[in-house]
């Protein structure tokens, strides 16, 4: 058997024409594994045709008579080699191919050529994955949850922006309250956004009954990353909000991408994604549906030029606590970042 310790002897025997067909096939296979040795073989004799010429797969059949075995002939043996490579041969066909190669050993190399001929990549990576990603969204169950989601959306976005938080640590807690101007609604205590929805669903009947009287739902959300789920594209959220809308806030325009969305667009997308075109009030007050468009208009209203700014801060940054008060007309929200 040819190896690194005796290949030179094989080379000389090859050049002297002393190798059998099977040994020549073995030599070809060896050279395919060690192509660097080809030059060494070529150097042994300038009188001998270049190895490439000798190794040329198409040349081999010209130099050797291909003996058919079963259905494998000179006309179709390459198809059989490809079929073998693709795993398309049956057990009996595999046996036939083995026999064919035993009888025509000089074709072993050609078969191995097909097996090595594979299109492969170079490890290229798509580096803009973050641009492709989207924010997961919570689908609120009814209008109160929907309203809450808008407020959470606003509050989280604003808090994150103004406090310079680019990524919400898991342990950070954000508490907020929201409610309609009228008070006295049932109290709901929740620990995360999933629970907001669950709690809201539980209280659905009470809320429905009390509709029009009052709403006051203190909530506590922990682990904002979980499902507040409205981690808006932070680069886009504040892009088109002017500083005048946020007394006491310092709006910085850095870090905005060219494809940043306007506030209205963002809210619109969230609403559209969350509620579709059917509106928000299915299962609740069907006689007075609130559509996604309504919500968008509502959420955008504070930012229209003819309206007074309705977003303001209370408290300060000292003591690690920041409060943000949000009034969108029919509901208010108080955010405190701990």
Partner 1 sequence: MTASEYNRCVDEFADGVYRFVLKNIRDTEAAKDIVQDTFEKMWRLREGIDANKGKSYLFTAAYRTLIDFTRRKRQNVSDEKLISWESETVVAHDVKEMIDRALGTLPEDQRVVITLRDMEGYSYDEIGEITGFSESQVKVYIYRARLAMKKYLVSLEVLL
User: Residue from 88, 98, 99, 243 that binds partner 1 (CB under 8 A)?
Assistant: 88
Give the bridge partners for 333, in sequence order: 178, 326
- Choose between 83 and 211: whose C-beta lies nearer to partner 1: 83
Give the bridge partners for 335, in sequence order: 176, 324
Closest CA to 3 of 34, 38, 43: 34
Residue 78 in the binding site for partner 1 (CB under 8 A): yes
- Span from 50-58, 93-101, 168-176, 186-194 in contact with partner 1 (CB under 8 A): 50-58
Residue 43 in the binding site for partner 1 (CB under 8 A): no
Residue 128 in the binding site for partner 1 (CB under 8 A): yes
Q: How remote is the C-alpha of 335 from its chain's centroid?
A: 32
Q: Any alpha helices (H) in the chain, and if so which ranges?
A: 7-15, 21-33, 38-44, 51-55, 59-63, 77-86, 91-103, 108-116, 129-132, 143-162, 193-202, 204-210, 234-237, 263-275, 292-300
- Choose between 64 and 85: whose C-beta lies nearer to partner 1: 85
**Ranges within 251-310 binding partner 1 (CB under 8 A):** 273
Residue 66 in the binding site for partner 1 (CB under 8 A): no
Residue 98 tokens read as 């083995």
Residue 75 in the binding site for partner 1 (CB under 8 A): no
Residue 100 tokens read as 């064919």
- Span from 121-129, 179-187, 213-221, 290-298 in contact with partner 1 (CB under 8 A): 121-129
Residue 52 in the binding site for partner 1 (CB under 8 A): yes
Give the bridge partners for 176, in sequence order: 219, 335
3-state secondary structure 205-249: HHHHHHCCCCCCEEEEEECCCCCCCCCCCHHHHCCCCCHHHCCCC
- Choose between 46 and 117: whose C-beta lies nearer to partner 1: 117
- Span from 8-16, 27-35, 191-199, 213-221 in contact with partner 1 (CB under 8 A): 27-35
- Choose between 170 and 251: whose C-beta lies nearer to partner 1: 170
Q: Which residues bind partner 1 (CB under 8 A)?
A: 31-32, 35, 38, 52, 55-58, 78-79, 82-83, 85-86, 88, 112-114, 116-122, 124-126, 128-129, 131-137, 273
């Amino acid at each position: 058997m040819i190896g690194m310790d005796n290949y030179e002897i094989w080379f000389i025997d090859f050049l002297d024409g002393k190798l059998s067909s099977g040994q020549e096939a073995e030599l070809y296979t060896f050279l395919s594994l060690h192509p660097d040795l080809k030059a060494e073989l070529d150097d042994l004799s300038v009188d001998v045709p270049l190895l490439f010429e000798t190794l040329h797969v198409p040349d081999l059949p010209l130099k050797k008579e291909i003996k058919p075995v079963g259905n494998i002939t000179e006309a179709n043996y390459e198809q059989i080699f490809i079929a073998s490579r693709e795993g398309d041969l049956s057990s009996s066909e595999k046996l036939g191919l083995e026999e064919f190669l035993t009888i025509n050993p000089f074709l072993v190399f050609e078969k191995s050529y097909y097996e090595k001929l594979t299109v492969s990549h170079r490890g290229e990576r798509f580096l803009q994955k973050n641009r492709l990603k989207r924010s997961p969204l919570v689908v609120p169950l009814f209008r109160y949850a929907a309203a809450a989601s808008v407020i959470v959306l606003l509050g989280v976005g604003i808090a994150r922006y103004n406090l310079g938080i680019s990524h919400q640590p898991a342990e950070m807690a954000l508490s907020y309250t929201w409610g309609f101007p009228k008070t006295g609604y049932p109290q709901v205590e929740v620990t995360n956004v999933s629970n907001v929805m669950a709690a809201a669903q539980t209280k659905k009947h009470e809320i429905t009954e009390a509709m029009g009287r009052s709403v006051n739902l203190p909530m506590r959300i922990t682990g904002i990353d979980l499902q507040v789920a409205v981690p808006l594209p932070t680069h886009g959220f504040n892009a088109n909000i002017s500083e005048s809308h946020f007394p006491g806030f310092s709006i910085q325009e850095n870090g905005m991408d060219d494809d940043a969305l306007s506030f209205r667009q963002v809210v619109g997308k969230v609403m559209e994604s969350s509620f579709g075109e059917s509106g928000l009030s299915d299962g609740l007050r069907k006689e007075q549906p609130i559509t996604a468009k309504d919500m968008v208009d509502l959420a955008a209203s504070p930012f229209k030029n003819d309206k007074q700014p309705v977003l303001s801060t209370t408290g300060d940054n000292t003591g690690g606590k920041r409060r943000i008060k949000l009034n969108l007309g029919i509901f208010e929200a108080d955010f405190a970042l701990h």
